[in-house]
Amino acid sequence: MLTLLLIVSAFFAGVLNAVAGGGSFLTFPALILAGVPPLNANATSTVAVSPGALASAYGYRRELGKIREIHLPSFLGVSLVGGLLGALLLLWTPQRTFEAIVPWLLLFATVLFAFGPKASTWIRQNCTVGHGAVLASQFLIAIYGGYFGGGIGILILATLGVFGLTDLHAMNGLKTLVSGCLNAVAVVAFVAGGAVYWNEALIMLVAAMAGGYAGAAVARRIPPPHLRRFVILVGAAMTVYFFVTKL
C-alpha cells in the first residue's frame, strides 16, 4: 500500500509540476507517511521529482526554442550555484531543527502558491529592473529551491515576468527546465551527503518522469486553476497537520 502511495503521489507530482507546480506538496508528505524522517524526505523528494521536471522541459522543447528575451546560460548558471548552496545548507541543518521549521516552510510555500500569481502579475506590471537584479533574485530563489523548494515555480515565473516573457507555455517550459536543473545539482549534494532513501527515491523517480512528460501535454489542454486549487488544499492540509503534530 505504501509503495502504491509513493507511485501515485510521484506520478501526479510530475503532472502538477508541468501544469501548475506544487508537486512537492504530494511527494513530501507521502514520504513522511512512508516513515522517512523530514529532512531525508525533503532530499528524497528532490531526487524523485528532478528527472520528471527535466522530462517535462523536454516536452516543452518547441516553446523553449522560441525564447529570445533571456540569456539562458546566465539564468541557468545562477540557478545551479544557488541550488547547490541551498542543498548544502539543508545538509548542515540538524534533523531536529529542520523538523521544527517544516510547518513554517509549508505555510510559506502554500501562501506563496496561493497568492503568487497575483503578486507575479503586479510585479510584471509595476516593476522594471536590470538584468543583474533579476539574476540576483533568481540566485536567492535557487537557494530556497535547493533547501526546500515548495512554491519555487511561482517565484521563477515572477522572475521571468520581470524579464519580459509573456508566453505562458514558454515560461512554463523554462520554469520546469530551471527547477529541474537546480534540483539536479541539489541531488548531487544530497547523494554525497547520504541523505537519500534510495528504495523510495527509485520507486518515485520513474513515476515522476512519466507524470512530468505527460504533464507537458496535459498543460496544453486543461486550464491549471482546478489543479492549483487542489495543490493549495493539499498544502493547507499538510501545513495544519505538521503544526498540530508539533503542539
User: What is the tens place of the pLDDT at every residue in 225-239?
Assistant: 766 777 778 778 878
Distance CA(99)–CA(240), nearest Å, equals 14
pTM above 0.85, yes or no: no
The mean pLDDT of 13-36, rounded to a whole number, is 81
67-77 pLDDT tens trace: 766 777 888 88
**Which stretches does DSSP call E strand in 93-194?**
none
pLDDT digits (tens, 9 = 90+) for 131-145: 677 788 889 889 988
Least confident of 6-10, 112-116, 183-187: 112-116
Q: Which of 80-84, 177-181, 235-239 has the highest mean pLDDT?
A: 80-84
Owner of C-alpha cell 489543479: 227
Report the percentage of the chain scoring pLDDT > 70.
79
